[in-house]
Amino acid sequence: MNAHDRDFSGKADDIALVRYGDGEFTVLRPGRFVICAVSGKPIALDALRYWNPTFQEAYAGPAEALARWTALNP
């Protein structure tokens, strides 16, 4: 994420539209959170640490990221 992209304005129930890159992400539509691709849990943008830029997916934590990686790489 870029330092200039820190404005997460939007309603508390707004899902952000995010483009995931290598080591950073860009908020395309402001919102408060994204949804974990594995667990379905909401992830606050300021807590987002795990994602896959190839599949454009966010993960709630390392366990979810590992589960998805394992599923994609049997």
CB-CB neighbours of 49 under 10 Å:
12
The pair of three-digit structure tokens given for residue 42, joined into one six-digit string = 């909401």
Looking at residue 67, its pLDDT comes to 96
Tens digit of each residue's pLDDT (9 = 90 or more) over 17-70:
999 999 999 999 999 999 999 999 999 999 999 999 999 999 999 999 999 999
What is the four-CA torsion angle of 41, 45, 50, 51, rounded to 10 degrees? 90
Looking at residue 1, its pLDDT comes to 47
How many CA atoms lie within 13 Å of 59's alpha carbon, on the beta-carbon side? 16
Kindly tell me if the per-residue pLDDT of 8 is higher than 70.
Answer: no
Looking at residue 74, its pLDDT comes to 87
Looking at residue 66, its pLDDT comes to 97
- Containing H/E element for 7? none
**φ and ψ at 69, to 5 degrees?**
-60, -40
* Measured distance CA(2)–CA(6) in Å, rounded: 7
